[in-house]
Structure 1
């Protein structure tokens, strides 16, 4: 395996970790607001609060690692994406700031304020919608280079079926991943009132998840037929495995069995789909301007970055395991006894 491919795998792993962890966080925020509006907050919000309290500060670690690594491994990405991501990137930063403010204010008694809770819930859906623009643009067709100047085709992006299909699946995936995890979490806490509600959420968002996935394929075929064809010819089996994992997870939740195993299958569902998407996109980082070879940093810097990022994973994963053992999977904590 060459250093370029290894570097890309490391970055993709950080991004996958962020998708799973952040989706649980973002979806929980929306469900907290929805519970307040439907007067079910007294049933489900205790579970949500017990999950969010110890983990919200570490959610963005994966995100920071990915973007720092992306610029470090592929410096030319900043040149091409700097203009394109100015608007969505700025929006995402503002939304992240608002979300961070909620966490701060919630410690001073504002957690039940409907305005703060609305902003908290809304940002949980708008942040992934803004951030997924990166994946859309990387597929090609939304950036041109003329006379050495990069032009962002904003009109084409906002009128593209592929662009909106990615936004839709990003939002739906946040709700689906979060609902399936919180279902497991409520069951582990033996909070059967919250379990019944969160299980309904998980089942409700399962069908839109698979429909949105097919919509992405339709949009991708119209936007980049070569990218679409690589998926069909070489990596169809990864998406087939993703579908199998989706079916297994949905059946387990439907029949009220092994919620923890169901969430593992949800993670595998997104693992196969996400890595299949990434593999079919190679060697392009930004089609057709940057590949993992043409836009890569110098070899010495690349080796150092790979070592640092692997060490980062080695430190981060055990830290998350300790956090989970102390809080998320501690019987007394999740049952509200401490």
Structure 2
């Protein structure tokens, strides 16, 4: 039981790191497209390119670790999620491939074509939307059939308010997190035109993000009442802290002060909400089929996996910090002087 909770905690760290890093990446792609269409690309695209060039290739490493670890710790997830999520996961993989390919064409080709940029930017929003389907389905009520023949009730999924609210939350959260980081990055670069535009976008996407989060929370009661009641009864304080962090980030941005601390508050805001959701969901990974305490691998394998994945964290996070310090946040690099 303890090993199961340690294992899922480690995996949740990998997933959270991926959400933050990938959201910055995905949102930056959409902002690049938006700026191109609205003729504002000269204001921000150079800034976004300076951030993406060093880090875009390492974004998916955290997701690969999470995916491999989930199957390693809880093998039954491969059967259940692998069957019912075949179509959404395939769509996500295709979008990731398209996005990576067109990112390369955009950066290393002789020119930037709008079609390439459109596919790159739109894919960045559709990827989190398709991956969010996993969280929707994990709440139960969408899987039909027996263990030998599992199927996904597409009609129920497509008509579910909870399902669509999660999709919109994934998209809006990407834009919110990305604009929050890029506002800080523009302020650090002392790039006033980019800063003004990105700050405006951050302030615009903040209220819709809170509104859709509330709708997701309320619609969860219709989808999985047990999860909703557990969240309200035992983990309300985490969601309250998340909202307080949101208010703090908004106030600092409105006052045009301490944008670094504002983005730290954004990370804390998403972290409290994300971990509050995950903790209140336990012990279920897929309601009501998979419980972490009943479907974890044997103790020896679990201990080995925990050690390996903790070592992976100890390698990946310092490496990412080093990459950011050497390139992304280097004073001359961030100001475009090298």
TM bracket, shorter-chain basis: over 0.9
Alignment of 1:52-71 (within 5 A): 52-71=52-71
2:48 matched residue in structure 1: 48
What is the CA–CA distance in structure 1 between the aligned matches of 2:253 and 2:96, rounded to whole Å?
Answer: 32
**SS at 1:132 equivalent:** helix
Q: 1:142 to 1:121 in 2, by over 3 A?
A: same
Task: Give ranges in structure 1 of 5+ residues lacking alignment.
Answer: none
Alignment of 1:1-338 (within 5 A): 2-109=2-109, 112-146=112-146, 148-338=148-338
Q: 1:114 to 1:153 in 2, by over 3 A?
A: same
Offset, 1:77: 0.5
What is the CA–CA distance in structure 2 between the aligned matches of 1:110 and 1:36, rounded to whole Å?
Answer: 17
Question: How far does the alpha carbon of each residue in 1:95-122 deviate from its partner, in whole angstroms, 9 at most, with x for none?
Answer: 0000010122124325521000000110
Contact 1:98 1:119 in 2 (8 A): yes
Offset, 1:147: 6.8
Offset, 1:144: 2.9
Contact 1:21 1:59 in 2 (8 A): yes
Offset, 1:153: 1.2
What is the TM-score normalised by the length of structure 2? 0.98
Question: How far does the alpha carbon of each residue in 1:140-167 deviate from its partner, in whole angstroms, 9 at most, with x for none?
Answer: 1111343742221111111111110000
Question: How far does the alpha carbon of each residue in 1:265-312 deviate from its partner, in whole angstroms, 9 at most, with x for none?
Answer: 000000000000000000001111100011111111111111010000
Question: How far does the alpha carbon of each residue in 1:34-76 deviate from its partner, in whole angstroms, 9 at most, with x for none?
Answer: 0000100001001100000000001001110000000000000
Number of aligned residue pairs:
338
Question: How far does the alpha carbon of each residue in 1:202-229 deviate from its partner, in whole angstroms, 9 at most, with x for none?
Answer: 0000010000101101221111111111
Task: Give ranges in structure 2 of 5+ residues lacking alignment.
Answer: none
Offset, 1:93: 0.5
What is the CA–CA distance in structure 1 between the aligned matches of 2:209 and 2:16, rounded to whole Å?
Answer: 17
What is the TM-score normalised by the length of structure 1? 0.98
**SS at 2:144 equivalent:** strand
